[in-house]
């Protein structure tokens, strides 16, 4: 990631500024919440959902002090041009299908950054968007359930749009890439947010109407799968595998060196080579 004072900018994400760009029927301006700084947009979105906020409620912040990442990690969230957004959904579906929403969000994210000129982005199962092996964005889906049914879901997405390496720890800066790095110029953060919300709505409506098959097909077109070597870390055990496919449920299928086909339902995937 570059050290770039001039890219520490981006669009105005306030409701007033975004209202004209929220043109769909789900993520509307009246359900849009903006905070200059917050602990975690996912935390607030979950609290709003718990208190009855409608599906389509959105929480956006310019910075997060305790951004949440997958597997209990922290998502470093400096001010200065990145996107931190969480969306409330109330899908009528079983708890077991909730991980599909992460894959759906990945497809929407890929579409949004592609619309802003990012070429060659690939999805890494289950929740990362990479460009040349570096992380441009991540997704964290959280959920509340009543028995086997979902009560609400929050899909949180962090996108490195214009941020600078100076805002990150050296470890994160070494693995991250921004849209501005790839485009060699600042990127319209508000436009990326609008494109992301529009793509999310489109894919969500399609998923509710047509089921998971179109999402799976779209993810496979954009994902790191056949021919990719990876290390899979599941409950502390690490295995080198060749990635093969996404199964009909959205879980990862991988082949071990011994020829065994494994179905990965959780865990970390680290790309090799």
Among 4, 8, 31, 40, binds ligand BTN (CB under 6 A): 40
Nearer to ligand BTN, 68 or 189 (CB): 68
Question: Does 57 interact with ligand BTN (rule: CB under 6 A)?
Answer: no
CA dist 206 and 199 (Å) reads 11
The token duo for 71 is 């597997």
CB of 184 to ligand BTN, least distance (A): 25
Kindly indicate which of the ranges 82-90, 200-208, 211-219, 226-234 contains the residues binding ligand BTN, using the contact rule CB under 6 A. Answer: 82-90
Q: Is 84 in the site for ligand BTN (CB under 6 A)?
A: yes
Q: Could you give the CA distance from residue 211 to residue 256 in angstroms, rounded to a whole number?
A: 31
Rounded distance between C-alpha atoms, residue 7 and residue 3, angstroms: 9
Question: Which residue stretch of 40-48, 97-105, 196-204, 231-239 sits at the interface with ligand BTN (rule: CB under 6 A)?
Answer: 40-48
SS3 126: coil
Cα-based distances in Å from 44 to 58, 147, 155: 10, 23, 12
Please tell me whether residue 86 binds ligand BTN under the rule CB under 6 A: yes
Q: Are 178 and 1 in contact (CB under 8 A)?
A: yes
Is 81 one of the binding residues for ligand BTN (CB under 6 A)?
no
73 in contact with ligand BTN (CB under 6 A):
yes
Q: Which helix (H) or strand (E) holds 252?
A: strand 252-256
Taking CA 262 as the corner, what is the angle to CA 256 and CA 263, rounded to the nearest 5 degrees? 150
Smallest gap, in angstroms, from Cβ of residue 130 to ligand BTN?
11
Site for ligand BTN in 122-161 (CB under 6 A): 127-128, 138-140, 156-158
Residue 194's H or E segment, with its range, is helix 189-210
Question: Given the rule CB under 6 A, which residues bind ligand BTN?
Answer: 40-42, 64, 67-70, 73, 75, 84-86, 127-128, 138-140, 156-158
């Amino acid at each position: 990631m570059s050290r770039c004072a001039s890219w520490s900018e981006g669009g105005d994400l306030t409701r007033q500024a975004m209202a004209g760009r929220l043109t769909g029927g789900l993520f509307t301006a009246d359900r849009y919440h903006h905070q200059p700084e917050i602990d975690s947009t996912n935390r607030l979105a979950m609290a709003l959902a718990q208190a009855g906020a409608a599906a389509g409620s959105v929480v956006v912040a310019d910075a997060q002090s305790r951004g949440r990442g997958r597997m209990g990690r922290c998502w470093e969230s400096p001010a200065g041009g990145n996107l931190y957004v969480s969306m409330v959904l109330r899908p009528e579906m079983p708890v077991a299908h909730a991980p599909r929403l992460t894959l759906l969000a990945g497809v929407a994210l890929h579409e949004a950054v592609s619309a802003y000129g990012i070429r060659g982005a690939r999805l890494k199962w289950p929740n990362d968007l990479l460009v040349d092996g570096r992380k441009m964005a991540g997704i964290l889906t959280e959920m509340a359930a009543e028995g086997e049914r979902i009560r609400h879901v929050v899909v949180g997405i962090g996108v490195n749009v214009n941020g600078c390496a100076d805002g990150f720890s050296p470890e994160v800066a070494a693995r991250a890439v921004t849209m501005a790095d790839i485009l060699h110029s600042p990127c319209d953060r508000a436009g990326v947010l609008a494109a992301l919300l529009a793509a999310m709505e489109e894919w969500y409506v399609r998923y509710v109407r047509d089921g998971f098959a179109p999402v799976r097909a779209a993810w496979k077109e954009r994902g790191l799968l056949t021919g990719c070597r990876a290390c899979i870390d599941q409950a502390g055990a690490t295995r080198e595998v060749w990635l093969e496919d996404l199964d009909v449920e959205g879980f990862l299928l991988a082949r071990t060196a011994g020829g065994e086909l494994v179905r990965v339902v959780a865990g970390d995937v680290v790309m090799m080579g």
